[in-house]
Every structure is written in C-alpha cells, then in structure tokens.
A = this chain, B = another copy of it.
Amino acid sequence: MGKKLTSRSEDYSKWYNELVVRADLAENSAVRGCMVIKPYGYAIWEKMQAELDRMFKETGHQNAYFPLFVPKSLFEAEEKNAEGFAKECAVVTHYRLMNDEDNPGKLKVDPNAKLEEELVVRPTSEAIIWNTYKNWIQSYRDLPIKINQWANVVRWEMRTRLFLRTAEFLWQEGHTAHATKAEALEETELMNNIYAEFAENFMAIPVIKGAKTENERFAGALETYCIEALMQDGKALQAGTSHFLGQNFAKAFDVKYATKEGGLEHVWATSWGVSTRLMGALIMTHSDDHGLVLPPKLAPTQVVIVPIYKGEEQLAQISEVADELVKDLRAAGVSVKFDNNDNQKPGWKFAQYELQGVPLRIAIGPKDLEKGTVELARRDTLSKEFVNRDEVVGKIPALLNEIQETLYTKAKNFRDTHITEVETFDEFKKQLKDKGGFISAHWDGSPETENKIKELTKATIRCIPFDRKEETGKCVLTGNPSEGRVLFAKAY
C-alpha cells in the first residue's frame, strides 16, 4: 500500500502505470518489453477469455493450435502482397547454447548450431496458418473453415507500456476460409459485432463500430472493421479488429477449391483478434484516483467480506455470520471472499480492495452483530449503507447488475459528450487540444489529407462509423468534397 496513487488530473499516464502495478495486475520483467501478468490481472483476463471463447463457439468456431515459429520464407510469400508488413520481430537463428570456455560459468550461442532457415516468432499467424490451410482445402466441401487460436505473439516494440503495448502479448486470432466473398464479408462483420457486444455487455465499454481507412488497415486486408473506445483522458483506443482479407492470402499460398460447379477458385479469408490490450482499455475506462474499478461481470471477486474485531471471540462470532453469507452468496452465483487474514488490519484491507476494484465490500463489526446489520459499500460510487443481515444476500445480485449498468452508462455519457462535430480546421485543432475525444469531421477521402492532418495534429482517423448519417460536406483540411464525417482522435 503506502502512499496515495498519483491522480488522473495530475498525470494520467503515471496514474495508469502506478495503478497497473499497485493493483497487482502486471509488472515489467527481466526481458525488455515483456510483462509478467500477475495472478489478479490474469484472473480478469481468464474471465474475458471464457466469455469470448463461449461467443466464438456459439457462432460455430473451433479452437486449434499452430506453431509459434514461422519460417522466414513464408513471410516472403506473404510479403509479395503486403509490402508494408512489420519486420520488427524476434528472429531465432540458432538452436543451442554451450559453455563459453573463455568465460567459466558463462554460456554462449553454439556457432555450429545455426539454423539453415531463420525462424520468426509469430507476430501474427496468417502466414503459417494459410500455408497449412493449403493442405486442408480441396473442395467446397472443406469450406468454411472457422478456426480460432489463443496464443502469445511477439512484435519488437521500442516503446512499451504494460498491457497497452508490449513485445510479447496474449491474444486470440481467428482465421477463417470461405467459398464466397459475401460469406467472408459476413464473417468479418459478425466477428466485429461479437467484439462490440463483448466490450459493451461485459467490459461495460461503449464502442463505435466502423471501418478503417486504407492507411490504417492491416497490411493485406481489403477491409478492416474495428471497435473504437474512448479513454478518460480523451484518447481513443482500438479495442478489436476484424479483417476481410479478400483472396490475398489464398493467392500468396496458392489455396484453391473445386467449386460445386466444377470450377477452381481461390478461397476468401478473414482474420480477427483481440488481445491483453483490452486489459488496458478496461482499466482506463472505469478506474478512478482510488484505484481500479471493475465491472462485476469481469471481477474475479465480486464481493469481499471484511471482519472488524478485537480478539478471537469476536472473530469467531463474525465468522459465523460471514460463513453463512459466503454460502448463500455462492448459491446465488456470486463470487465472494471472506478475508479473515489476521496479519492485516481492516483499514489496510479496505484500501487494498478499493485499489483492486472489488465491486462490493461487506464489513461486519461488533455493533453489526448486535443490530443484525452489515455495512455494504460500493466501489464505483464509494457509497456505503447499513443493510439488514437478512436482506443482504437478496439485494446483491441486483446491485451487481446495477453497478454493471452504471459503469456502462457513465462511460457512454463521457464518450457521447466527447464526440464533437467541427466544420473548420481551426475548430478541429482547438477541440482536439481543449477537450480531446473524437472529432467528427468531413474528410475528402485521400490518404494524403489524412497524413497531413496526422502530421499537424497527431490525430488519426479512428474509423468511418457504420452508423454515420448520410451527409455530404467539405473536407475540414482541404475543402474538397466529402461523402460523410469520419472520427478523428489521438489514440493509444
């Protein structure tokens, strides 16, 4: 515990970094840019995984596992149609360490154990997976293939931040193969919708669904759909992407299928993913200067019970009440912990659970025993009330739902009041500087204009929203004709 968390207004970035470490979510490791996800952080990630996995399976996807390594030559095949593909990656060149005779106790790479072909630690798995699909797909009968993989990936990032940008991160990557363009496009949209549903209903994060501009698309994609969220500091965060890959990978890896009609066609592809970056979005959307605030659906512990006592006898009396509550709450499907650890004082525990964002706290002291009450405290509003002991179990499930909804509504209000329509570039710059958030503006559709705006303001086009109203106008920078507004923002 120790000193207070840096406040958000003081230094938002510092607040985030401190919070992640002090709430026991993650920490930096001995390996540059790689994090350790601590048990409490990992428990939240597991809850996300479980829900996403359920949604994937319900929509007909299966999990599988492909190799960690991608032979360099497979990137060359892909490279042909994805010139801009990131090459900052971890490269395995040797397969043995040996004792270093010149430095006793030290190891060195065995120069005689050089690989014939270098292996890249997967930054994403399109190449290795499409090279495999080639053998799985001959006929229309083999389609569609709808596979997801939970895996670690590595991208050699120079500037890293816990969860938001790390060299190694955990994610899921879906890779599907379809007979027709229409079916692949439908899949791309379906998965983007699943991400949106998950973000809104489970993470309590409102998101805007839209398409990326050509500049911001995944290399090799013909369309990238995304969900964009807004953090409390007014910066946007891309929370998930779903790519329509057309026939690019099928062509790069020569994947054709015999059609029902006897023809031979290239297969249509999609890929889609979300990562441990979502942890960053979760933290930055809801948390406050006291620490983490978690939506009940993702909280590893939804209710904590803290006894306030002097001596063993009082503890025994309180434990009796607490054990009963634990039993009844579990029966009601609530995850609950009774913290009777004698090594820490109640005040320390209160602060700890506040910092870790446990949605509800029940405190029971000697006076509560007399009166038949408990003190029930909400993490999100920091409000407290005394509740009759008989009523507390009945009250809690509804209260958890209420907290879930309150968090969503609060985040949505913030987001909605931070979408600003502007007509001039001066206004654009002023709003971006003063208020941040999404700037809704006309754009002439050219990558050059987009780049110029980025250069001048650091804002990028986050997406072309699917639900934008029909409206022509003039580009905020060039005055050229525009077919509709797009959303700009500075982004994580």
Contacts and interface: CB of A to CB of B under 8 A. Distances in A.
Contacts of A76: 105-107
Interface in A122-147: 128, 131-132, 135, 141, 147
Interface in A81-95: 87-95
A97 B68 contact: no
A91 B343 CA distance: 44
A198 interface: no
Contacts of A64: 36-39, 42
Interface in A70-88: 70-72, 74-76, 79-80, 87-88
Interface in A30-68: 30-31, 34-39, 42-43, 46, 62-68
A89 B94 CA distance: 8
A256 to B, nearest CB: 19
A128 B31 contact: yes
A65 B92 contact: no
A96 interface: yes
A179 interface: no
A237 to B, nearest CB: 21
Interface in A146-168: 147, 151-152, 154, 156, 168
Nearest to A170: B65
Copies in the complex: 2
Given A34-B67, A62-B43, A107 B79 contact: yes
Contacts of A37: 64-65
A119 to B, nearest CB: 7
A67 B31 contact: yes
Given A69-B168, A91-B94, A118 B109 contact: yes
A71 B31 contact: yes
A351 interface: no
A348 to B, nearest CB: 12
Interface centre among A87, A132, A141 (most CB of B within 10 A): A87
B70 A31 contact: yes
A172 B119 CA distance: 24
Nearest to A66: B36
Interface in A408-456: none
Given A68-B152, A91-B97, 6 more contacts: A31-B69, A31-B128, A42-B64, A75-B107, A88-B96, A89-B97
13 contacts: A29-B67, A30-B71, A30-B128, A34-B69, A36-B132, A42-B63, A88-B95, A90-B119, A91-B93, A91-B97, A92-B92, A96-B156, A121-B121
